[in-house]
Structures are given as C-alpha cells and as structure tokens.
Amino acid sequence: MNQSPRRKTVKPFGGHDPDLIKINRVMSPRLFFILPGPLCTALLLHLAFSSSRFWPCIWFAFIPLCWSVRTQLPGRAFIQGIIAGFAFYYLNLFWITNSIRNFSALPIPIALVIMALLAIYLGLYFGFFSFLLAKNPPVSWVSILFLASCWTLLEWLRGNLFVGFPWHNLGTALSPGSPFTLLLPYVGVYSLSFVIITTNLALYSLIFNQDNNHFMIRRIATLLAVPILYFLLLAASHTGIASLDKSLPLKVSIIQPNIPQEEKWNPAYRQRNFTLLEEMSLESAATSTSEIPHLVIWPEASLPDFFQDAPLFRQRISTLTRQGNFYLLAGSPQYDTDSAGKHHYFNSALLFSPGGKLIAGYDKIKLVPFGEFTPLADYFPFLGKMVPGADFTAGRPQKPMDLDNFSLVPSICFEGIFPEFVAGSMAKDSGFLVNITNDAWFGISSGPRQHLLNVRMRAMENRCYLLRCANTGISAIISPDGQIIKQLPLGKRGQLEAIIYPTISPTIYARHPYLLILLLTVMAAGCKIYMQQWPLKSPSGFP
C-alpha cells in the first residue's frame, strides 16, 4: 500500500513550536539566557537618551530584546520585557531620588524602593510589547506594522493612563536637525516613535530571518522604506513650514536666579531673593525700547509667598513693571477658600501688565503625583507626599494669555512634556509657548537636561518659539524648528534675551492631536485581522 509522503510542516517563528517550548523550559531558569538581551536593550536606550553622541543607538536598541524573546513563551517574554523596561527607567530616572533623599524624611532604602516601584510600573509597557512580540514575531510587513503600531499606542497610554508620564518617548531622542522631525507639526512626537520602532523591527527581521533567501529582496525593501522617507523629508525641509509674523517683534528676557531649594522658602532669604529678581529684571529692561513690547519671565514659584498674603511683594511688582515698562510672567502659589472654609491651593503663573496690574492667571492642571498631590488619598490615607508642602488642586483649562498682539500659552514644570495637552492650548490661538519650572529639587543631576529634552519637542510640534525659564537651569530659548538659540547651564545665575515672533496659525497637529493615535488603532486592528485570516505561509513571513 502506497503512502503519500509526509508533508513537512514549517513552524512559524516564535515561541509556539513544541520543540522551542522544550528548549524554553530548559533555558529559562538560567539567567545567562534571560538577562543579556533585555539588559543590552536597556543599556542602548540609556545611552541614546543620555548623550547626544550616542543617540543613533535608538535605531537598533530593541534588536537584543527581539532576539532574546525569539524562543520564549509569551508569559516569559513579558517578564523579559519588564526587565528591560525596569533597567532602563531605573538607570535613566534615578535622579528623581534626589528630591526624596534631600527634601523628605524618608530613609534612603525607602527612596530606592519607591524608585524601583516606579521603574517596575513603567517597565510593564515594555512587558506588554514583549508579550505581543512573542505572539506575533516580526517576520512580515504586516506583523512589523502591527507591532510598531502597538508600541506607539503603548507609549501614548503611558502618557495618558492614570496621571500620565510621557517621559522619554522614543522620538525625543532624535536631534532637531533630523528630517524626521518634519513630521512633528503634522502628527506629533509619536510618529517619530513609530518610525524608530519600525526600523528596529525591520532590521531585526533582515538580520535574523535568514532561513529563506528567496524573500531577501523583500526584507531589504522593508528596511529601505525608512531611509526613503528620510530623504523625502530632507527634500521637503527646504520648503519651510514655520509661519511667523515678522511684523510683531517681542523682546523676551528669561531670568534664572539660581536660588537653592533650601533657601527658596526660608523666611530669612525672602527679601534677598526677591531683590535679586528685581535687579536682574531692571538690568534687562535697561536695553529695552518703547517701540517693541518687552516680556520678562520668572521661574515657577518665584514669588516667595502666597500671592494673596504678600501685599508688599504685590506692590513691589507693580512698581517694578512700571519702572521697567515690561510685562512680567511670574510663578506664584495661590489659594482660595470654599463655602466650607477649606483652602484650595494652586501652583500658578501670573501675568502683570507694564502698568503693574494682574491681567491674567493660569493654575497648573497636570500636577506631579506625590509631589504636588497624593493620588487616591481618600482610599489610602496612609499614603502621603514625598516632599514637604500642601496638597495642590488642579486648575481648569483656560484661554491663552493675551498681551498686546500676542498670545502666550503657559505651562508649569512637567506639564510641558504632555504633547496633546500643550497642543490643545495652542489650537485656541496663535502665539508662543512658555514653560516655567523649578528643577532645583533634583540638584546637579541629569533630570533638568532630560526635562529640557522632552519639553523641546513641543516647539517643533507647534512650530512656535518656546521660552523655558528654570530657577536653577536649564533655561533656554528654543526656535520653532527645535534649535536652542540660547541657554543657561545648570547651576548658573544669569539671563537670556532675544527677539521672537508669534506664529500666524496653529499646526495640523495642534488642531488634530489625536489623529495619529486613531490611525494607528485602525492599523493595529487591521493588521491583527489580516494575520488571523491569512497566517504566514513561510518562515520568512514575506508572502
């Protein structure tokens, strides 16, 4: 009796092959097989975000993680992803512990545990991506686009879920001179993250899926899509996107007083600190002309008392602005009292006219958890703030501040790292961005540099000037294309001056900040349906 030859079944690339599962069970207990890939990815990402010399690492940082989970079950791939994310964030965000160690009563071991818990939470997003990576290996155009869409959506979720922490999206590692940044006014920073993770996955597929040479050309085509886009954007860069009204010049002066956090709220230093701000502002005003409006910017919480409780400082501000003939934007805490007699505290930015009148105010909306408020305090009363001070109340959305023919969109501290939040304010009117902050909490660490790196993207997304005023640095004047025109280094007292111009109209991204997220959601769903209906016919995956 003749028997038909047995058909050789080709197992898809991933952790679903029974043979690979056996290997998985043998290899997984050994740290040698679990740690190198995730830790290598964490190190490459750390280098990419830590130094301008190593930012190209971002283009291949995920390859070790992809290689590491290639034989793993989805559950174990999830653990490896958490390891990669934990190591990256623990290394890159360790500066956060400075404020806990120096300005709270918590012992150092507790501070390290808190940092570890934050890193584990952020590492969960890496874990979910690795889980999807194990279930849907990057062996086809469809699977690559599915995974790239999922990673970008996970980044967006990290920036919006609960309080939100959109710190170090992959796209922030790119230099402002990169043509890819031309995507920012249209679809925002998440588009750069999509391009970067697509490149990582395509490179991995090209290097490691070598089992069928017949599909090599298509693999190369997958990878070439990125440089082709690069050169198209490079050609487009000469057309110019920024649209500024050169008929409306504004002189701006950014004051960086470099007041140590230990002295900022000490009553013994209040008069001295305020006098320092006055003198530096008048020095800048001495070179002003009456033909060009002048705006002076002070850092977050620069008024050394609650605004309502400081009549002397209010009077001095009125005298100062009249004498110098400038607008003044200053950070100050405020409070109001409800009908029950309870105080509600706000972290505010106040705008004063050259006549000394308070003409606009803004209350911070995106508060720092455990720094400015305690999440879930009603349900977990044992939780508390990590730094001293009252719990703040979030403000309500407000219109941009108006001065002469300008529209000023303020943000306070880490509010500037939220792409859609800032874009939503810019969509209401044209103008420019101001970010005031006090990074003195973090001392001489990498925190202020990383903060500037993340905030800088808002200038490119909205194609407008961004003025950043920091108490101890790093203050900067950033052009609409993301270039730093001037900056003051960390830990130095000084001031920055420049002539800027308002934008004429909001960018596409400012008007439609959720467009890319909607498109990626549709793409991810479509790719998943395609992979289920038409599974891969070959191990190469390029049918």
Query: For residue 405, how many other CB atoms are within 10 A of its CB?
Result: 12
* Paired sense of beta strands 294-297 and 327-337, if any: parallel
Asked about 251 being catalytic, the answer comes back as no
- Taking a C-beta distance cutoff of 8 angstroms, is the pair 400, 409 a contact? yes
d(CA 461, CA 418): 11
Q: Are 430 and 442 in contact (CB under 8 A)?
A: no
- What backbone phi and psi angles, to 5 degrees, belong to 441? -55, -30
Given 40, 57, 66, 413, which residue is catalytic?
Answer: 413
Q: How far is Cα 218 from Cα 265, in angstroms, rounded to an integer?
A: 63
Residue type, 249: P
3-state secondary structure of 503: strand
Q: How many whole angstroms separate alpha carbon 99 and alpha carbon 320?
A: 33
Q: At what angle do helices 141-160 and 216-236 cross, to 10 degrees?
A: 50
CB 455 within 8 A of CB 497: no
Residue type at position 374:
T
Residue 407 has φ and ψ, to the nearest 5°, of -125, 120
Those residues whose C-beta lies under 8 Å from the C-beta of residue 303, and which sit 6 or more positions away, are 274, 310, 313, 330, 331, 332, 333, 350
Q: What is the DSSP string of 437-463?
A: E-GGGG-SSSHHHHHHHHHHHHHHHHT
Catalytic-labelled residue, pool 66, 150, 300, 420: 300
Q: Is 413 a catalytic residue?
A: yes
- How many contiguous H segments (helices) and E segments (strands) does the chain have? 18, 12
How far apart are alpha carbons 196 and 62 in whole angstroms?
A: 10
Contacts of 162 (CB under 8 A, 6+ apart): 375
Helix (H) or strand (E) holding 38, with range, is: helix 36-50
Among residues 364, 385, 469, 527, the one annotated as catalytic is 364
The whole-angstrom separation of Cα 202 and Cα 357 is: 58
Q: How far apart are CA 113 and CA 386, in angstroms?
A: 13
d(Cα 210, Cα 67) in Å, to the nearest integer? Answer: 13
The tokens of 44 are what?
A: 């490459």
- Per 3-state DSSP, what percentage of the chain is helix, strand, and coil (rounded to 5)? 50, 15, 35
What pairs with residue 344 in β-bridges? 336
Q: How many CA atoms lie within 13 A of 378 on its CB side?
A: 0
With beta carbons less than 8 A apart as the criterion, state whether 158 and 122 touch: yes
What tokens does 365 get?
A: 């909306």
Question: Is residue 300 annotated as part of the catalytic site, yes or no?
Answer: yes
Active site residues: 300, 364, 413
